[in-house]
Each structure stands twice: as structure tokens, then as C-alpha cells.
Amino acid sequence: MNVMMQTKIEGQIQNGKIVVYMKGTPDFPQCGFSNAVVQVLKASGYPFEAHNVLDDPELRQGIKEFSNWPTIPQVYVQGEFLGGCDILMEMHQRGELQPILDRAFA
């Protein structure tokens, strides 16, 4: 990954409390996994920043390299990588996600 892309990603992650790299947009997700993540985050009641990797192939590849995680969507809270759809769903079902989001906005 080039330095400019790494710097761009770092800035996005550091500047947003909740940042999602997804296929599509929150209003029009382009895959079921991205849609599931959006629904859980919307249900949390907190705003989140979304980046559509389908609009930017360099970002799509760059975020995978940045996180060393092969799939999209990817969710970051307060600069920390939480995971993708499966991890987020498990955290939500176990009641672990909401306290993390609450702390981000405390």
C-alpha cells in the first residue's frame, strides 16, 4: 500500500468515532454483510462514518492491507479495529457491542 493511502486511512479512522468500510452506502448497501453491519450500527443510535470501497478500488485494497483483514465490511471504533460482519454480529448478540459504542460517545 502506498504511503498516501495509508495516511488517508489512518486519518479517516482517527477522525471518526465509528468508521465503517463497506460495499455501498448506509442508505444503499451493496452486500448482505454490509447491510447487516449498517442495521446493527443504526440500531445503536449513534452516528457513524461510512466509506464505500466500491467507489475506490485503491481504498478497497488498502483497507484490507491496513487491517490485515481480507474481507469487507470492516468496523473501527475510536481508532480500534473491531472486525467484520461476523465478529460485529457476535458482539451484538452477546451484548458486548453497545457498551463499546456507549464508551466511544461518553
User: pLDDT tens across 53-70, in order?
Assistant: 999 999 999 999 999 999
Instruction: Please give the CATH architecture assigned to the domain spanning 3-99.
Output: 3-Layer(aba) Sandwich (3.40)
User: What pTM did the predictor assign?
Assistant: 0.95
Return d(Cα 94, Cα 31) in angstroms, integer. Answer: 24
Domain ranges of the chain: 3-99
pLDDT for residue 1 = 73
Return d(Cα 87, Cα 16) in angstroms, integer. Answer: 20
Mean pLDDT score, 19-25: 98
Whether the per-residue pLDDT at 102 is higher than 90: the answer is yes
